[in-house]
Structure 1
Amino acid sequence: MSLTLGLIATVLCAAAPPQTPPIFQPGAPGQPPRVISAGESVGLSRTGFTAEDVRFMQHMLVHHAQAVAMVELLRAHGADATVRQLGERIALGQAAEMEQMRDWLAAREQPEAAADPHTGHGGHTGHGAPSDTPLMPGMLSPARMQALAAARGPAFDRLFLEGMIDHHQGALDMVDALMALPDAGEDPLLSDFLSSVVADQSAEILRMQSLLSDLNPTAEDRP
C-alpha cells in the first residue's frame, strides 16, 4: 500500500507544472518595479505606436535637454540653496526620462532626431538678435535663455523658477496635445511614461510656484 502511494506521489510531482519565476516591470524614475502577470507581460511586449508617438518622444528629448542646460546655469549663477536643490532633482529626473525616451525609440528602431526638430523659429532674427520664439511649447526662447545666462544671484533664481515653470507646463501641454490625437499614446510603455511625466512635473510646478513666492526682490534686484 505504501509502495502504491509512493508511486502515485511520484507521478503527480512529475506531472505538476514547473514554478515560473515572477515577472518584474521596471518602475518610473524613483519608483520601485512591480510584479506583473504573464498576460500583462504579453500586453507590454506589444509595440503598437504611431508616427505622432515617435515625434512626441523625439521632441521631448530636445525639451528635456534644455531643462538640463538650465540647471547647469543654476549651478553657476544661482544663489538660493533650496532652488539649487530642487534644480538638481529636476536634472536627475529629466536625465533619467531622457534615457527612457532613447530606449523607447531604439527598441522601435526609430531615430532620436525628429525630421522636424522644432515647431517655432527658435533661432535669430534677421538683425542677429536672439529670437523670442521658442522651439516648441514651454521651451525658453533663445532670448530668454540669453537673459537667464546673464542673470546672477536672486535675480537668476527668479528667472530660473519662472522659466522652469513655463518649461514644465509646456511638457504637460505637449502630453495633452498627443493624447488628443486618435490612437496616440496607447503603447503601454509610452502610456506609463506619459503618466510619470504628468505626475512629476505637476508636483514640481507647485513646488516651484511656492519657492517663487518666497523669493522677495531685494533693493539691488529691483529696476
Structure 2
Amino acid sequence: MRPTGWIAGATAAVLVAVGAITYAVADGDASGTRAPAADSADAGFARDMAVHHQQAVEMSYIVRDRTEDVEVRRLAYDIAQTQANQRGMLLGWLDLWELPKVSPDPPMTWMGMGDMATGEDGSLMPGMATDTEMKRLGTLNGKRAEVLYLQLMTEHHKGGIHMAEGCVAKCSVGVEKRLAQGMVDAQQSEIKLMADMLAKRDATARD
C-alpha cells in the first residue's frame, strides 16, 4: 500500500508554482494576454471547479469525523486541504479578472454540456454526489462510512478529471491550464490509491 502523505507533497509543487505567478494573472497571463471574458472556458472552469471542489472538501470533513481509520482520515485531510487551496486560487483569479463568481448559464456550459450537466437531487455536475448521498454519508460510521466515501470520491474525481481535461483543451490562460493538468495527474493517482483502499475493505468502485 502506498502512503497517502505523498499526495499533499505532489500537489504542493503545483500550488507553489501557481502562487508564484498569481500577480501576473491579474493582467491576464504571464505572456501578456488579456484577462479572459466572462463566458470563456477559463472563467467557466474557475467557477464550476470551485463548486465541484467545495463538495469534495465537505465530503472529506464528513468522513474524517465518521471513522478512526488513520489511512482514510489522512487521505480525506489531503484532499480537503488541496482542493480548498485550489478553490481559493480559482476564486482569486475570478477576482483578479474582475469577473462574477456566479453565471446565469447552467454549469458546464463552457464545455458545451449546459443542457446535460445538471442532474437530480443536488448533483450539479458530473461526479458530484447527490444531497441524499451526502446525508447518508453523515449517518454512517467506520468501515461503511469509509467505503461510501471512497466510492463517492472516486466518482467525484472522475468528474473532476473530465472537467480539468476540458480546461487543458479549451482554456487560454497558461497558469490555469497547468493547474488543470496538475489536477488530472493528482486525481488519477488518487483514484488508483482509492481502488486499493476499497479492495482492502472487500469493496469496489461503483459502476
TM-score in same-fold range (> 0.5): yes
Distance between the aligned counterparts of 2:119 and 2:154, measured in 1? Answer: 21
CA 1:199/1:138 → structure 2, altered by over 3 Å: closer, same or farther? same
Distance between the aligned counterparts of 1:67 and 1:54, measured in 2? Answer: 20
Distance between the aligned counterparts of 2:57 and 2:18, measured in 1? Answer: 24
Which of 97, 102, 120 matches 1:108?
97
Distance between the aligned counterparts of 1:172 and 1:43, measured in 2? Answer: 25
SS of corresponding position for 2:46? helix
Contact 1:27/1:33, CA 8 A, preserved across alignment: no
Distance between the aligned counterparts of 1:82 and 1:121, measured in 2? Answer: 32
RMSD over aligned Cα, in angstroms?
A: 2.7
Distance between the aligned counterparts of 1:215 and 1:34, measured in 2? Answer: 41
Contact 1:58/1:113, CA 8 A, preserved across alignment: yes
**Alignment-derived partner of residue 85 in structure 2:** 96
**Alignment-derived partner of residue 161 in structure 1:** 150
Distance between the aligned counterparts of 1:90 and 1:49, measured in 2? Answer: 28
Which of 38, 46, 53 matches 1:64?
53
CA 1:157/1:101 → structure 2, altered by over 3 Å: closer, same or farther? same
User: C-alpha offsets along residues 46-92 of structure 1, whole Å, 9 cap, x if unaligned?
Assistant: 24535222111101111000001001111211232101101101111
CA 1:47/1:190 → structure 2, altered by over 3 Å: closer, same or farther? farther
Based on CA coordinates, which of the two structures has the bigger radius of gyration? 1
TM-score, length-normalised on structure 2? Answer: 0.74
Unpaired runs of 5+ residues, structure 2, are: 1-11, 22-28, 108-116
Give 1:35-54 correspondences, 5 Å limit: 43-50=30-37, 51-54=40-43
Unpaired runs of 5+ residues, structure 1, are: 1-25, 36-41, 123-130, 218-223
For residue 92 of structure 1, what is the amino acid of its counterpart? Q
Contact 2:94/2:100, CA 8 A, preserved across alignment: yes
**Alignment-derived partner of residue 201 in structure 1:** 187
Distance between the aligned counterparts of 2:191 and 2:200, measured in 1? Answer: 14
Task: Report percent identity of matched pairs.
Answer: 27
Contact 2:150/2:198, CA 8 A, preserved across alignment: yes
Question: Which deviates further from its counterpart, 205-214 or 111-120?
Answer: 111-120
For residue 173 of structure 2, what is the amino acid of its counterpart? D
User: C-alpha offsets along residues 184-210 of structure 1, whole Å, 9 cap, x if unaligned?
Assistant: 212112111111111111111111111
